[in-house]
Chain A
């Protein structure tokens, strides 16, 4: 795999292979010595044009566990606003000897532009671009869900027939897009839930059902998993919804809604959570919440992604 830019372009076999390599990586993390020599001598650059401590330290941990040299380059705002172009920044990192560039950017498509530009020979790993995609988040979510459902028998399996609700700000969510494509290629049935203002225009062809009513969706879909998206409170200032209170009342995973879920349903959240807004503590702290498992899976997933891109491995 040369780059990892999106989940939209992954085939089912490729997706399952990445998840299986993630299983391998996760297994090594159970050992006393967690560090592998796999990427010794390789240089991984975390190029973050947008703040994200969680994702950055997850990639850092993953690269270090694979014995890569890690350089973190964080810069706020777009490169353009600083008067330095993406091209100049990337070529500087290339000259330093980067083998993999992990790119986080506020603008959709920046990793694709970098990968296609011919400016660099390094692999590009999308760590979240604008409102486009966040492929490693979706992979770690799928890994977590597959583990919850299939346990030790996960290898080689998809998520066929698994019913998933993705709830919240679909419009601005790269996590929702990456999850939709990946879940769907793995055979899951996805329902997107949120206010019409936060559902993108023009998604009739997406492999998903759309619902504006969370209670109805819970009752009719009987989901195996509910993914709650982080919703920015400031959205109400742009008339996406009237108030935090109303949003929480209609689309938040309250204690009552959590209780209405099927007993086996898991609750997922990419973090950081807005407790009491999109998710109640009753849901977030329950044994059916996978929030911390997702964080752990994040390191294994990123190890797999770094390994596959840096070594050009299959998938």
Chain B
């Protein structure tokens, strides 16, 4: 395998060093002559961080190949500096059996751009009635450790309790999409001044907060691990802060878009801004940023949700929920957290790589850049700034809320398993295996 020398890269601990990658691991860090025959990459002025790990990605395959495939989503991930993604279970068929998760895993391995870790459904068909084949998925070749009905809330309290308890058997974690269904029937937009003016059915903050409050208490009662998906409100942050202060085993994620965008963007009924949970208010944005900065929220997860143009270019109520986010995530976190002084780059490394790998038990990822670590690396230029554009999108869908928006930074290279998936800011065309796509 080719050897790479990343010359004069900036590490998040402040060191500036040459990084040598060989045979899929980091062979040395220090000052290199570069005479070894390695391919030299000038990383002067670039940040080197462990490859990003997304705990919440919709790859759409099987069933939604018109919007994204495991291969196209893997390329989008690599373009954003990711080396591992966790693929949500709301595919068609639903990832609720060993065969589906093994298929997704195999497609990910064949694509080769990132480690693809399938998430298993909590309930059969996401119907919220019967437990899915949790043990079968956990013991399958895909070795599923994260279970989620994301897109839908496990709203039945008894079923939620049982699921939390049952998943303990396999050392897994339940990732809850917190949305009280009755309070959000037909909901279209954050309930507040914008929904009132636009005449869109409101999605009240309390519908998220009430479920989180219930579930942290269930996690405490059962001693199980709970993870909260896409925290979006100030009240949710408060509930989580309380839960953590009580020692409850809860972790939480926030999306890049909830760190940067607000519901005011819905003013023109442009459905690129339609997402679930919805964009919230300025004070919510401030609260989730503070929560991420102080550790109440553990990680950033993209909730990358590709949709075809038809599903977005229509009436707001008729449009699908979701935004693509893999390609822009690091730049958005840069803008919202580093640009505001709330996080340093070591903090970014923690919330976008180390902690998500730990929560999702994603092996071989999220290790600080050190000799002997797997060569999962992103090189990021923090000094540039440019309008986010369609050419920055590497997946199949273009439903990004950032198109035309100025964002800092750019991902110049990504290394996965010791080989580049992105070089000079462009996707490397890998020899991919059969992908059914």
Interface residues of A (CB under 8 A from B): 8, 78, 80, 85-87, 105, 107-110, 112-113, 116-117, 129-133, 174, 177, 200-206
Shortest C-beta distance, A273 to chain B (Å), equals 22
B317 touches A202 (CB 8 A): no
Looking across the interface, which residue of chain A has its beta carbon closest to that of B310?
A: A85
B192 touches A129 (CB 8 A): no
- Tell me which residues across on chain A come within 8 A of B318, comparing CB atoms: 78, 80, 107
Q: Does B371 contact A (CB under 8 A)?
A: no
Bound state CA distance, A130 and B317, in angstroms? 10
- Tell me which residues across on chain A come within 8 A of B313, comparing CB atoms: 87, 117
Bound state CA distance, A87 and B309, in angstroms? 12
Q: Does B315 contact A (CB under 8 A)?
A: yes
Bound state CA distance, A161 and B268, in angstroms? 32
A174-B199, A202-B191, A202-B192 are contacts. A109–B314 as well, Cβ < 8 Å?
no
**What number of residue pairs across chains A and B have CB atoms under 8 A from each other?**
78
Query: Could you say which of A78, A112, A177, A201 contacts B191, with CB atoms under 8 Å apart?
Result: A201
- Tell me which residues across on chain B come within 8 A of A109, comparing CB atoms: 198-200, 269, 315-317
- Tell me which residues across on chain A come within 8 A of B268, comparing CB atoms: 112, 116
Shortest C-beta distance, B192 to chain A (Å), equals 4
A108-B269, A112-B269, A113-B269 are contacts. A202–B315 as well, Cβ < 8 Å?
no
Query: Could you say which of B198, B271, B314 contacts A132, with CB atoms under 8 Å apart?
Result: B198
- Tell me which residues across on chain A come within 8 A of B188, comparing CB atoms: 108
Shortest C-beta distance, B293 to chain A (Å), equals 27
Q: Does B171 contact A (CB under 8 A)?
A: no
Shortest C-beta distance, B315 to chain A (Å), equals 4
Query: Could you say which of A8, A86, A107, A110 contacts B197, with CB atoms under 8 Å apart?
Result: A8
Shortest C-beta distance, B146 to chain A (Å), equals 34
Most chain B CB neighbours (cut-off 10 Å) among A86, A105, A200: A200
Interface residues on B, range: 20 to 34
A201 touches B199 (CB 8 A): no
Looking across the interface, which residue of chain A has its beta carbon closest to that of B281?
A: A202
Interface residues of B (CB under 8 A from A): 188, 191-200, 202, 204, 268-271, 310, 313-318
B314 touches A113 (CB 8 A): yes
**Chain B: interface secondary structure?**
loop
Looking across the interface, which residue of chain A has its beta carbon closest to that of B204?
A: A201
A78-B318, A87-B313, A117-B313 are contacts. A108–B200 as well, Cβ < 8 Å?
yes
Shortest C-beta distance, B198 to chain A (Å), equals 6
- 15 pairs, CB–CB < 8 Å, chain A vs chain B: A8-B197, A80-B314, A86-B315, A107-B318, A108-B198, A113-B314, A130-B317, A131-B199, A133-B199, A200-B202, A201-B191, A202-B196, A203-B193, A205-B193, A206-B196
**Chain A: interface secondary structure?**
loop
- Tell me which residues across on chain B come within 8 A of A205, comparing CB atoms: 193
Shortest C-beta distance, A157 to chain B (Å), equals 27
Looking across the interface, which residue of chain A has its beta carbon closest to that of B271?
A: A113
Shortest C-beta distance, B190 to chain A (Å), equals 9
Bound state CA distance, A193 and B107, in angstroms? 59
B204 touches A177 (CB 8 A): no
Give 5 A-B pairs besides A113-B269, A202-B202, A203-B196 with Cβ atoms closer than 8 angstroms. A78-B317, A109-B269, A116-B268, A200-B195, A204-B193
Shortest C-beta distance, B280 to chain A (Å), equals 12
A113 touches B197 (CB 8 A): no
Bound state CA distance, A87 and B311, in angstroms? 12
A85-B310, A112-B268, A201-B204 are contacts. A80–B315 as well, Cβ < 8 Å?
yes
B196 touches A107 (CB 8 A): no
- Tell me which residues across on chain A come within 8 A of B315, comparing CB atoms: 78, 80, 86, 105, 107, 109-110, 113
- Tell me which residues across on chain B come within 8 A of A201, comparing CB atoms: 191-192, 195-196, 202, 204
- Tell me which residues across on chain B come within 8 A of A107, comparing CB atoms: 315-318
List 10 tightest A-B contacts by C-beta distance, closest first.
A109-B269, A132-B199, A131-B199, A200-B196, A108-B199, A202-B192, A107-B315, A107-B317, A202-B193, A80-B318
Query: Could you say which of A85, A129, A202 contacts B199, with CB atoms under 8 Å apart?
Result: A129
B199 touches A113 (CB 8 A): no
Bound state CA distance, A112 and B266, in angstroms? 12
